Amino acid sequence: MCQVFAFKVLEVVGIIMTNGFEVSPGSLQGVYELPSMMNHECVGNARLTMDADEHRICVYAASKEIIRRRPPLGISMRDMLL
């Protein structure tokens, strides 16, 4: 039973580390359904900002050209690892 529990804890921690976003600088992470499912790219064409007061994430395209061409939006993995 303890091994199953430990495995589940590691699984949840892995999900948060992979798909979580910093909610409060350096202290709190949250998993947001739609941003977590966005493409993860080495060099993204979108950026995320956190509205801490509203507890929501805003997505911004990197340029007007990206909006005009309408490619799938992707966020940089590098930013998530910093």
What does 28-41 look like in DSSP terms, one character per residue? EEEE-HHHHTSEEE
Q: Give dist(CA 25, CA 68) in Å, integer.
A: 33
State the 10-residue block means of pLDDT for the chain, 82 residues long: 83 85 73 81 84 79 86 74 46
In terms of residues, how long is the chain? 82
pLDDT confidence of residue 11: 92
Specify the pTM. Answer: 0.57
Left if phi > 0, otherwise alpha if psi is -120 to 50, otherwise beta: which for 26? left
Helices (H), the chain: 2-19, 33-36, 64-69, 77-81
